[in-house]
Amino acid sequence: MTLHTASAKQKNKPVRSLTLTPGQVTFGLFALFCLFLILRNSDIAIEYMSRGLLLCARTVIPSLFPFMVLSELIVSGGIGNALLKKLAAPLRRLFGLPDAGCCAVVLGMLCGFPVGAKCAILAYEQGNLTKEETERVLTFSNNPSSAFLISAVGVSLWGNRRFGIALYATVLTVSVLTGILTNLLRKKSDSESLLTTEGFPAKPPLTGPKLFTEAVKSATGSILLVCAYVIFFSALVGTLNLVLGSFDLPQNLSALLFCLFELSSGVSQASALGNTTIAAWLCAFAAGWSGLSVHCQVLSVCDGKELSFRSYFIAKVFQGIACALLFGIFIYFFPEILIPAEVCGK
């Protein structure tokens, strides 16, 4: 009787399907390819991981970590909610978003990624943004911070603060343009959701020392995530670049490869090119596109929310190309920003 019952349970037990989805196949092959590259060229992988660590220590952490802590203090303390609420009215009409979405956009533009994605997801979880609105906010609220573009790229890599300021202005202009376009292209059926006028939803403001300690804790987790992706993609792109090097590819194409995968490594490689005009174009493209490393950060923030990222990736491709074109026009009229400050005396 017992054997019969056990046999019946085994028959009724659901059998897991061995069929793999297209996504599983794609990322599985990608993982095997990366593993082969790193094992085949372990010395190169170690060298580029060391470069990634050095890049994090010299550029990424100094330019981003203090900024992340301060942005966390502003958001967690509730100060940002009060200050940004006054800007929500004009932005609501411009982007076709409720106040919560407008605040997420502004914070994302000021603080850099992944702050915009975090704010958008928080508003979505609390019911102040619809799914469609959240997906639209993600398309233009995740940009490099002013600290990274002005200090790390402009001052450290190009030796000219004006370069970083112009690049940051270009990214913001294209980001705003993307927000306007997504508003014009949105479905008419979603217009009713604009009736939401509540301010940016936030947790009860923290007070005292805990406000600072929680800000540092949250910023530490974010900067570690950023550095982890920088190091991984540095090793991946370095080994892949070695393989492609056997085909004697141009140096410009190699820099573009870095820009596609990782922002920090991309702008670092691009700025080292001999042709400063092409180098500037690639830096602008990298800033607009942001790199697969940043996209992985955004995907991790949005994990489990069942959002579609088709419009997000289309928008980032558009922003990369648009930033390169707009910045190219800018340097045509102001070529002096390509010259280091100590050379041109500014």
Confidence band, pLDDT 50/70/90 cuts, at residue 192: very low
Q: What is the pLDDT of residues 52-85, one digit of tens each?
A: 888 788 877 887 788 778 766 766 666 665 666 6
pLDDT, tens digit (0-9, with 9 covering 90-100), for 98-151:
877 887 888 888 877 777 887 788 778 777 788 899 999 999 988 888 888 988
Q: How confident is the model at residue 18 (pLDDT cuts 50, 70, 90)?
A: low
The answer to whether residue 16 scores a pLDDT higher than 60 is no
Instruction: Report the pLDDT value the prediction gives residue 151, as an integer from 0 to 100.
Output: 85
For 191-205, what is the mean pLDDT? 44
Question: What is the mean predicted confidence (pLDDT) over 226-250?
Answer: 78
Mean per-residue pLDDT, 224-228: 84
Q: Cα separations (Å) of 120 from 4, 111, 142?
A: 55, 14, 10
Please check the confidence at residue 96 and state whether its pLDDT lies above 80.
yes
Going from N- to C-terminal start, the domains of the chain cover: 43-344
Nearest alpha-carbon partner for 341 in 156, 168, 171: 156
Alpha-carbon span 168 to 159, nearest angstrom: 15
